[in-house]
Each structure stands twice: as C-alpha cells, then as structure tokens.
Amino acid sequence: MQALRNYIDHLTRSTISDADFALITAELLPYKLYKKQYLLQAGEVCRYQAFVVEGALRLYTLDARGNKQVHVLGVENMWIGDRQSWSQLMPSRYYIDAVEDSQLLLINCPQAQELVRRVPLVAELVRIQDERNAIAAQQRLHDAIACTAEERYAAFVAQYPGYVQRFSQLMIASYLGISPETLSRIRTKLPHIHSRAGS
C-alpha cells in the first residue's frame, strides 16, 4: 500500500493523513494477476479500476480480423480499466491482460464515489488524473494525425523510457498505430533512439 500512498502524495503535492489513507485502503481489494491472465474481456462489465502496484498490463480491442489494437500500456503507479463500462455498468469493448505477473489494487465505482465524497484529497486526485488523461488523449490524437511514425516512436521512447524492455515490438507498434515492419525499420534507421530506450 505504500506505493499507492507515495503516488497520492506525489500527484497531489500533499501528504495524506493516516486517517484518510485508512479510509482508502479499506475500500481496496489486493489482487494478483498472472502473465497472460485477463482482468477484463470484451462483453463483460468492467467492475474495477486497477492501480498497478507491480507489473505490466495492456488494454486493447480486436478488429474484425482478430488483430489487436493496443490503446493503453500500463505499468507501476498507473490506473487501468474501462472507465465508461466501470461507471455506466455497460458491456466493455476492451480486453485487459497481464504482460507480466502483476500486483493490483482494485476498486469498484460505488466505493470510489464514496471516497470522493469523504476524502477531499481523493477528489483532488481524480481531478488531476482526469486532466492528465484528457491532455494525453489530445496529444495522442495530434501525434496520430500530424506526426510521422519516426516522430511518434521518438516521442514514445522519450515519454516512456524502459517500455521497450517490458513490452514486445508487436505491442508497441500496435500502440503507435504502425506495422511491426515499420517499427523495425525505424529502430534500424534511428539506433540512437533505440539505444536510449534501452538505457
């Protein structure tokens, strides 16, 4: 739970009280997810948002041909889940599975809403997360439209150092919206970027 406490303090630039943190931890469900195990499958209702204490997961959809389109790569100190399904109790279009053995903290929507009401710092945390997610979504849309594949990969490496070691080339290519062959050519053409990703 210390990882979550550090995350809250860092993101809100505050220090959560022991009493408030006890209210939070009382609502969380520790959960172990093994590599290749699903947290969510399409057609199910997303019952939980998951805080990643340790490990790596991906959120993706399947197209008509069964190809995976990766939308989120999640590692430590990140939340992952289908927000729309979680809050509206509607079937999800997404799959979430573990890329590595993972330790998670789960929370359902009513519990989260209760914490927002009772703990001001949780309300602030949610506000900050929503703002960051909106900015990231806007930036990703811009990059998809305006940036070359090389520029997208360079930005990915700069923003997420270490991901190249934890996620396969196929997953990263899907996340960037390019083919694995294109990604392979980029890595050959720009070895300084790839070497930076491995540092």
Out of 3.30.300.30, 3.40.50.720, 2.60.120.10, 2.60.40.420, the CATH code matching 2-146 is: 2.60.120.10
Kindly list the distances between the CA atom of residue 23 and the CA atoms of 26, 27, 116, 146, 149, in Å, as whole numbers in the listed order: 5, 7, 11, 45, 45
Confidence of residue 199 (pLDDT cuts 50, 70, 90): very low
Q: What are the pLDDT digits (tens) for 127-140?
A: 999 999 999 999 99
- Express each pLDDT in 81-91 by its tens digit: 999 999 999 99
Q: How far is CA 97 from CA 80, 83, 88, 94, 106, in A?
A: 10, 16, 21, 10, 14
pTM reported for the whole predicted model:
0.91
Alpha helix ranges (H) inside 13-148: 18-27, 83-88, 109-118, 120-146
Nearest Cα to 133, choosing from 69, 74, 87? 74
Residues 154, 85: Cα–Cα separation, whole Å: 32
The token duo for 96 is: 């979430």
Beta strands 38-40 and 29-33, pairing class? unpaired
* Phi-psi domain of 66 (left: phi exceeds 0; alpha: psi -120 through 50; beta: other): left
Listed by start position, the domains of the chain span 2-146, 147-199
What DSSP letter does each residue of 102-121 carry, written as one string? Answer: EEEEEE-HHHHHHHHHH-HH
pLDDT per residue as tens digits for the range 102-114: 999 999 999 999 9
Cα–Cα dist 105/179, whole Å:
34
Question: Per the structure block, which two tokens stand in for 139?
Answer: 């930036």
Q: What is the pLDDT of residues 42-92, one digit of tens each?
A: 999 999 999 999 999 999 999 999 999 999 999 999 999 999 999 999 999
Residue with the two structure tokens 């399409």 = 42
Contacts for 5 with CB less than 8 Å, ≥ 6 apart:
16, 21
pLDDT at 57 (0 to 100): 98
Nearest to 155 by CA among 117, 193, 128: 193
